[in-house]
Structure 1
Amino acid sequence: MRHSIRQAKVKADETDKKRARPRLRGVGAFVFALMILAGGVGLFTHPATPLAPAWNPLQPLRIDDPLTPLTGWKLSRAANDPAQCLAALDGHAAARAMPDFTVSDQCHIQTRVDLSRVGRAQLTPVETRCAIALRLAMWERHSVQPAAQQHLGSAVDVINHIGSYNCRAMRTADGTSTSMSTHATAAAIDISGFALANGTKITLIDDWQGDTANARFLRALRDGACQFFRLTLSPDYNALHADHFHLQSRGWGLCR
């Protein structure tokens, strides 16, 4: 009788232990996850973290950081935040913040800046949105200057444009649209050519066609712009763009 009671007690203890193991495993997994999470946050936030700023999602966009898979996300976040946008441009562009400009609900410039330089490249002063200035600065740093050195052996000193803000309807191959252009809110800029430090002048209307060094340079710039702008149109798109790149800070990702 006593033996049977002892056996029953042993079985009950074993059953209780088995029931406790999943709970213990769950608690252990939870504690382990907390430790990993704490270590991960520390990796991002610790002052002595070995993680480079370009790879740290908690660090803001810096124009001179190398490109990483996080760059596009950081760029979008900064472009949509006026304070982050201006902070990123500081030291990398001549962009003077201005009060917002409003003509109507359809025609205005929010987060307006007066832009006259991105990187080392000068521009005729243009009033545009901070997001356009920031995307131009990224393009100049990571596409324009490297492509100029690769294809032409010289730096770009001037980026020529034909404007950003223009309160007008969209132009299409079939005529004027009923929709407003992104230029009506300065959410785009049109780039027409470049002047190099060695004196070379390049325009899209004269140099896009063919397999010359100038043409390869311009095509590299078009492809590079697609990394930093939400919509990029070149002479390959249609005749309306034969003389310029249309670079837009909002859109559906068209690159042509």
Structure 2
Amino acid sequence: MTQTSRRRRFLYSAASFFFRLAVVVILLGGGGWWLLAHPNKPVPSYWNPLRDLKISAPVTPVTKWQLNRALANEAQCRAALAEAGVQFPAMQDLIVDQNCGISGRGLLSQLVTARMEPVETSCTTTLRLAMWENHVVQPAAQDLLGTEITRLRHIGSYNCRPMRTAQGENSGWSSHARADSIDVIGLDTADGRTLTLLADWQRNEPEAAFLRQIWRGACDWFRVVLGPDFNRLHADHFHLQGPGWGYCR
């Protein structure tokens, strides 16, 4: 066999291999797309990145993908909250200036289970809070306290102000100025207990273990989480912030 013939045979074999590979990829891709997109899909919605977020669904590796899509789309955000029974009636967006205002504004008074004193905040903050309450707070309450949480106590979300530090006000603007965060000071249980970070954080009791567990779990749903161990300004509350660089302290 001549060198030219060998080269032609090699090129033919290579072309044939890549053609077969392309066919397999197309078939598998089409089959995968059908599994995800077909109306009678066999893939559960909480494993399907093409489906919208459901707050009550089990958490899977796909959940964060679905959550990010809902955070970027106000209609999806509000639909996820409504499907879970979260009470968050829409309000007109608040526009103050380039530093202050609320986009996706609403009045939050009820999460999936726990009530709240009505608070104006954003849809994105509400969605993160609902995921935390449903997947962290309530399971931890059942495991460590033997009850459920009926009320989440807070000291507000929106506040048009600069950032505060232990040294005083900072030149930057607080995430509260856009309602991108909320401060939680305590919780009420179905069996009559009231837990506060100021009174219970340092106790050697199940209440303290519960508060520390839900603080750590908040880091799965918020980008910045600050608690009593961070500094004296946070001695009495969790600062739960949506956007940020990823910090849990």
TM-score normalized with structure 2 length = 0.95
Q: Are 1:87 and 2:84 matched, yes or no?
A: no
Q: Distance in 2 between matches of 1:157 and 1:211?
A: 23
Aligned-residue CA RMSD in angstroms? Answer: 1.7
Residue aligned with 1:166, SS: coil
Residue 106 of structure 1: which of 99, 102, 112 is its match? 99
Deviates more, 1:131-140 or 1:50-59: 50-59
Q: Aligned-pair distance for 1:19? A: 3.6
> Which whole-Å CA distance do the structure 1 matches of 2:169 and 2:233 have between them?
12
SS across alignment from 1:251: coil
**Alignment of 1:61 onto 2:43:** no
User: Within 5 A, what are the aligned runs for 1:1-256?
Assistant: 16-92=8-84, 93-256=86-249
**Secondary structure, aligned partner of 1:37:** helix
Q: What does the per-residue CA deviation read over 1:31-87, in whole Å, with 9 as the maximum and x for residues that have no partner?
A: 111111111111211233332211111111110111111222221221121011001
| Structure 2 CA distance for aligned equivalents of residues 37 and 96 of structure 1 | 41
Q: How far does residue 15 in structure 1 lie from its aligned partner after superposition?
A: 6.4
More deviation in 21-30 or 129-138?
21-30
Shift of 1:16: 4.7
Q: Secondary structure at the match of 2:16?
A: helix
Task: Give the deviation of 1:17 after TM superposition.
Answer: 4.4
Aligned partners of 1:163, 1:32: CA distance in 2, in Å?
55
Partners of 2:54 and 2:83 within 8 A in 1: no
In the comparison of the two structures, how many residue pairs are matched?
248
Residues of 1 paired with 2:207 and 2:168: CA distance? Answer: 31
Q: Secondary structure of the residue that 1:114 maps to in structure 2?
A: strand
Structure 1's 23 and 172: CA in aligned 2 closer, same or farther, altered over 3 A? same
Give the SS at the match of 2:130. Answer: helix
- Measured in 1, the distance between the counterparts of 2:158 and 2:135 equals 25
Structure 1 residue 103, shift from structure 2 partner: 1.5
- Work out the CA distance in 2 between the residues paired with 1:19 and 1:238: 68
Unpaired segments of 5 or more residues in structure 1? 1-6
CA distance in structure 1 between the partners assigned to 2:7 and 2:243 by the alignment: 63
Choose 128-137 or 14-23, whichever is displaced more. 14-23
Q: Which amino acid aligns with 1:37?
A: G
- The match for 1:4 is none
Superposed CA offset, 1:131-150 (max 9, x none) = 01101110111011111111
Q: Secondary structure at the match of 1:194?
A: strand
Per-residue deviation, 1:14 = 7.2
C-alpha contact (below 8 Å) 2:87/2:111 kept by paired residues: yes
Alpha-carbon distance change, 183 to 29 in structure 1, aligned in 2, over 3 angstroms: same
Deviations 1:93-146 (A, max 9, x none): 001111110121111011101100001100010000000110111011101111
Counterpart-to-counterpart distance in 2, 1:187 and 1:193: 19
Paired-residue identity, %: 45
1:87 is paired with a residue whose SS is helix
